[in-house]
Structure 1
Amino acid sequence: MLVRFTKMHGLGNDFMVVDLVTQRIRLSEDKVRKLADRHLGIGFDQLLLVEPPTNPEMDFRYRIYNADGSEVEHCGNGARCFARFVRDKRLTNKDVIAVETANGKAILTIFPDNQVEVDMGAPELLPKAVPFVAQEQSAVYSVDVESQHVDISVVSMGNPHGVLVIDDTDSAPVETLGPLLEAHTRFPAKANIGFMQILSSTEVKLRVYERGAGETMACGTGACAAVVAGRLRGILDENVKVHLPGGDLQVSWKGGEKDSVMMTGPAATVFEGQVFI
């Protein structure tokens, strides 16, 4: 079957976006992995599917697959691309779009300058909801990794995150410690691992080792989790600029358990194409 797709990115976090409102396909994990191959396929960090909603109060259903073929709950950079895609393809003319995700819903707002704000919902901090193995909730947990103790904050932004505060992102052991923590037994569903350097109370640098994808140029949910972690530790203010390898995001969180995390940033189209599936 010949399928139309769009290649997009949010700060270098790249996606293959497929409209399943006007076309129909079925994708196995093996097919997703082949499409994700950067030498033999399209190449992407995640595959985003735009589907009709199952909830009549929502505008669309938003599904995400990692490059390894696994389906995941949320992707903030992908959500911004999703919003731009449905507008560019004239699937909607709304500026505020409600989409259902695997763990609830997300509200996407498109501004005139093409920046997109994503209401990421309230962070989940209870260990069992992340999920993370711990006796009680804490702002920081000590995790044993190959004979060393690592202090880590744990947050769910619809998907599980662990956040470390480090001195320098340039020298952070992302490629070695990232996969060890991603698959640590205390993260039963695995986790995205963020390495955050504090520049000031309103500015941080961040690198993220994403579950099922490896390190990416940017991670929207990771940026949100990092700001939440910094707020919980008492080292960040309400509004924070997050510098990622692919560019900057603005993240804000008032700090209440029911307060939504708001994330704003760009989304861009790279090219359109067709592929046989």
Structure 2
Amino acid sequence: MSFPMINKQAHLGRTCRFAVGKAPRASVRPMASSTPLSFSKYQGLGNDFILIDNRHTSEPVVTPEQAVKICDRNFGVGGDGVIFALPPVGDTDLTMRIFNSDGSEPEMCGNGIRCLAKFVADVDKAAPRKYKIHTLAGLIQPELLADGQVRVDMGKPILEGAKVPTTLVPTQGSTVVCQDLAVDGKIYKVTCVSMGNPHAVIYSCDGRAIKIDDLDKELVTLGPKFERNAVFPARTNTEFVEVLNRSHVRMVVWERGAGRTLACGTGACALVVAGILEGRLDRERTCRVDLPGGPLQIEWSTADNHIYMTGPAEVVFNGTVRT
């Protein structure tokens, strides 16, 4: 029995075409043949996305079901999500929407918005600049820097437990800091932060500091038990954090709707806020966060209470796909 071939030349900056035919007994059925859709694939620290210039219409040209197929790493392009550059709302430059690899729609994505800013600048052939982007989490402002990095004003963190949202009982005013949560017979200390999307940040378990190397293999089974835990009514992203020193941490992440990923920008922001609230990180409020895909620099500004995230965004390849 012969199978269709997939021409997948993923060279940096190259253009390729994907032709996917039928394959028997596939877990995700290949995409049906239709009009080719142009896309670009970008990655930020290994968190990879399919970017679509959707500024000609206010509705995404790809459905959540189609996004699942496009994100499939065996029968599609492969990615953690599909991001759309949509027309602006109000006094903004454009709107961002994203469908996760499971078809769900998150409010925001930190690595994704860096990739979106770089994508739009590349499409428009624009010089490095600051963008005002409307998202479901509010106004987010990424700025392309001369050195190729992207610095993002992520806005203020949301700390009120009910707005994260979580039903865990607050421990500091209305904020959930170091609250106990039992999972698989272990007690995890959870601090809850929203960066427009919900995060459960964990620095310790059963009274011991998290060690990433010990936890890493468990993440694929442990992550879903946090994501879909009843105390998180909108599900949650979960970050497990190891402190290297008071301005340097390591983390692994289980993302809501995407699973294990190499990086999570909003998660890196949330864990710095959580670390400061727990007294684990410096009051100077700057921290290097080492993710599996590489480092991000995070600052929680005392001047305006905003979180600033700085990191890379790079094009992988351009192509067309049939949806």
Q: Same fold (TM over 0.5)?
A: yes
1:143 partnered with 2:177: no
User: Could you say which structure has the higher strand fraction?
Assistant: 1
* Other-structure match for 1:204: 249
4+ long deviations beyond 4 Å: 22-25, 91-94
Q: Is the 8 A contact 2:102 2:258 kept in 1?
A: yes
Going from structure 1 to structure 2, the CA distance change for 1:171 and 1:116 (only over 3 Å counts) comes to same
Going from structure 1 to structure 2, the CA distance change for 1:63 and 1:10 (only over 3 Å counts) comes to same
252, 270, 294: which one pairs with 1:247? 294
Q: Is the 8 A contact 1:67 1:213 kept in 2?
A: yes
* Other-structure match for 1:168: 211
Deviation at 1:149, TM superposition (A): 1.9
Deviation at 1:196, TM superposition (A): 0.4
* Other-structure match for 2:150: 116
Gapped regions of structure 1 (runs ≥ 5): none
Asked which structure has the greater CA Rg, the reply is 2
Deviation at 1:29, TM superposition (A): 2.0
Measure, in 1, the Cα distance between the counterparts of 2:136 and 2:118: 20
271, 278, 293: which one pairs with 1:233? 278
Q: TM-score, normalised by structure 1?
A: 0.95
Output one character per residue of 1:36-87: Cα deviation in whole Å (capped at 9) or x when no partner: 11010010001110011122x0000011111000111011101111111111
After alignment, is 164-173 or 267-276 more displaced?
164-173
Measure, in 2, the Cα distance between the counterparts of 1:84 and 1:207: 25
Instruction: Give the residue type in structure 1 aligned to 2:289.
Output: V
- Please give the secondary structure, in 2, of the residue aligned with 1:171: helix
Deviation at 1:15, TM superposition (A): 0.5
1:125 partnered with 2:172: no
Deviation at 1:93, TM superposition (A): 4.7
Percent identity reads 40
259, 264, 271: which one pairs with 2:317? 271
76, 81, 86: which one pairs with 1:46? 81
Gapped regions of structure 2 (runs ≥ 5): 1-34, 204-208
How many residues in Structure 1 have an aligned counterpart in Structure 2? 275
* Other-structure match for 1:66: 100
Output one character per residue of 1:242-268: Cα deviation in whole Å (capped at 9) or x when no partner: 111101100011368x61110000010
* Other-structure match for 1:261: 307
